[in-house]
Chains A and B, each alone.
Chain A
Amino acid sequence: MNNVFVYIEIEDGAIANVSFELLTKGRSLADQLGCQLEAVVIGSKLEGIEAQIYPYGVDVVHVADDARLAPYTTLPHTSIIVNLFKAEKPQVALMGATPIGRDLGPRVSSALYSGLTADCTSLEIGSHEDKKANKIYENLLYQIRPAFGGNIIATIINPDCRPQMATVREGVMKSEIRSKTYKGKLKKIDVAKMVNDEDFVISIIERHIEQKKVNLGAAPVIVAGGYGMGSKENFAALFELADVLGGEVAASRAAVDAGFADHDRQVGQTGVTVRPKLYIACGISGQIQHRAGMEDSAQIIAINSDENAPINSIADYVIKGEVMDVIPKMIKYYKANSK
């Protein structure tokens, strides 16, 4: 009772990255709160899935396995979560800020009358003093998120309602195994008792889900190349740097159109929007369409031989030089300085 719960998202039988990230965060919150970490998996053909989950420090894995539960639809998943939460009374419940988590979370929070904070960028444990009621709350979940178009950072709390619910975007938190031999318990959910026929009024007629080969959204570091890279062969240097830094390679539209990189690596208005911790723009002039897809990156390094490239105006660091000369130096000195 009163543990930290994580909803595990399943796509095509595999656990979503964001769920592992939430388990990692959930484990550290549970440690601070002195409680257990529990996971809920809802889907079909889930035999043995718990073995992938325990190593994140999960004490209990609840599994609802039924052919009707995959692919995800709102109502049966809501019924299972709501019934489970009513019985288990979690103090904290986390979900991915994905189309599934953002569909399920609010429905569950409404049914349980509990507060939900969307798209948190940070979660902490702290206290709160309600001066009016002269009451001190200990061990609340601080749900920290940008709001108002990113102009403010708000810390939200749910003093009285449980569970304290939050969604978190993929790639915002780190994923880390606690112990390969962590021992948890499996609890099977009796699906027939939790759902009713009315939960299946929505039917999925067709699905076209493409497996993402490249996951730019989740990469903490992105090394991006533009038309200025000159050739597909030169992109190999970007892959090497990305590999060393634990990141991914992206490209501008001009580079994709020139055949230097695949379309699924395109960042910008017609490609993917990314917000990595570090964006290294190599040979990218920085047209507005490209900037729209990356200007929220925490740090931007622009490597360019053109001092007046528009990308320089939003960069934190501007390296004036030839990309093919600078990148080997970055690799060399990263290796020299990292422990």
Chain B
Amino acid sequence: MKTFKIIVLAKQVPDTRNVGKDAMKADGTVNRAALPAIFNPEDLNALEQALRVKDQIPGATITVLTMGPARAADIIREGMFRGADDGILLTDRAFAGSDTLATSYAISRAIKKFGDVDLIVCGRQAIDGDTAQVGPQVAEKLNLPQVTYVEEIQSVNEQTIQLKRRLDNGVEIVKAPVPSVITVTGSAAPCRARNARLIMKFKHAKTVSERQEANEDYVSLFNERPYLNITEWTVNEVEVEAEQLGLSGSPTKVKKIENVVLQAKAAKKIEATDADINLLMKELIDSHTIG
């Protein structure tokens, strides 16, 4: 029987709860280096759904695929600590400045290179952009069906998968063929914790770039334990058309960025008198808040 292969698409995202002044570059793109980086929350929900499939199908494998800078290898290790088998880091300067479409193109090319896959699972959206576009766009580029807003993978076999979708006003149970692309919402089960045994096993897992900084002992370690190799692909490893990558491959351009200045609110104190409430209602009407 052939192996059931799952790819989990994950993104390392800046923790948008802590955006400082120096987080934006002059060209309007985000300076991710200036922010703490975390595993995108809904991608963790997606990983959990993949792990449940793996629990159910003997021999199933999970590969975490991410596109990002060198340090995005951190989330591949994080995935391994929770039960993923291996990971692929898609990293190249040529990918910088990609919008969702250019990102989806690059990811779809990496999946093509990966080869046969039975299920592609990712979070519905990432907290830095909240667009929810990459999942469906990857599906379209691979000519696979998509099921979005999935809360639970209810059952799966080699041909079909049954899913529960959580919509604004209810739920939907759908049956989709294998392979399909599934995007998982934050209302799905939280991801299981790291496993101590897996931390021990994978803590030295590294990409080729990371290994170049390691010493001789490590080299023998990676030869003895091939599972510690995190695959690293640049544009040279995936078949891509350069003009479809990065800024040139992005139909959308950022014209302008305005910072929202957050400050502690200084509430206006109003007495419950006729005169004060009259002034308040006038002010709300004049500012078009009401009326």
Contact = CB atoms under 8 A, between A and B. Distances in A.
B137 A155 contact: no
Central interface residue in A105, A119, A147, A321, by most chain B CB within 10 Å: A147
B149 A318 contact: no
A98 interface: yes
B138 to A, nearest CB: 8
Contacts of B167: 99, 209
Interface in A89-123: 98-99, 102-103, 105-107, 109-111, 113-119
Contact of A210 (B128, B169, B285): B169
A172 B272 CA distance: 31
Contact of B252 (A117, A330, A333): A117
A52 to B, nearest CB: 20
B30 A148 contact: yes
Contacts of A339: 291
Given A106-B136, A146-B260, A209-B170, A314 B251 contact: no
Contacts of A318: 267-270
> What DSSP secondary structure best describes chain B's contact surface?
mixed
A208 interface: yes
Contacts of A204: 172-174
Given A107-B140, A151-B260, A205 B272 contact: no
Given A118-B131, A202-B147, A320-B269, A156 B289 contact: no
A315 B278 CA distance: 19
Interface residues of A, number: 85
B278 A321 contact: no
A111 B149 CA distance: 21
Contact of A106 (B17, B100, B176, B276): B100
A159 B260 CA distance: 25
Contacts of A74: 136, 145-148
Contacts of A317: 267-268, 270, 280
Nearest to B143: A198
A87 interface: no
Given A99-B167, A103-B136, A206-B172, A149 B127 contact: yes
Contacts of A203: 174-175
B139 interface: yes
Interface in B79-125: 99-101, 104
Interface in A305-339: 312-322, 325-326, 329-330, 333-334, 336-339
Interface string B202-215: 00000000000000
A157 B129 contact: no
A154 B289 contact: no
Contact of A157 (B23, B141, B255): B255
B262 interface: yes
B270 A155 contact: no
Contact of A202 (B145, B282, B285): B145
A154 to B, nearest CB: 5
Contacts of B128: 147-149
Contacts of B278: 333, 336-337
Nearest to B133: A106
A320 B271 contact: yes
B131 A205 contact: no
B268 A316 contact: yes
B254 A115 contact: no
A175 interface: no
Contacts of B145: 74-75, 201-202
Contacts of A206: 172-173
A161 interface: yes
A337 B285 contact: yes
A110 B130 contact: no
Contact of A150 (B165, B177, B260): B260
Contact of A151 (B165, B259, B281): B259
A106 B132 contact: yes
Given A74-B146, A148-B19, A322-B272, A153 B260 contact: yes
Nearest to A146: B260
Contacts of A116: 100-101, 133, 252
Contacts of A155: 254-258
B98 to A, nearest CB: 12
Contacts of B277: 319, 326, 329-330, 333
Nearest to B260: A151
Interface in A221-244: 221
A147 B170 contact: no
A319 B275 CA distance: 13
Interface of B: 14, 16-17, 19, 23-24, 28, 30, 99-101, 104, 127-137, 139-141, 145-149, 162, 165, 167-177, 180, 250-260, 262, 265, 267-272, 274, 276-278, 280-282, 284-285, 289-291
9 contacts: A11-B169, A103-B136, A107-B140, A110-B140, A115-B101, A148-B30, A153-B257, A208-B171, A316-B267
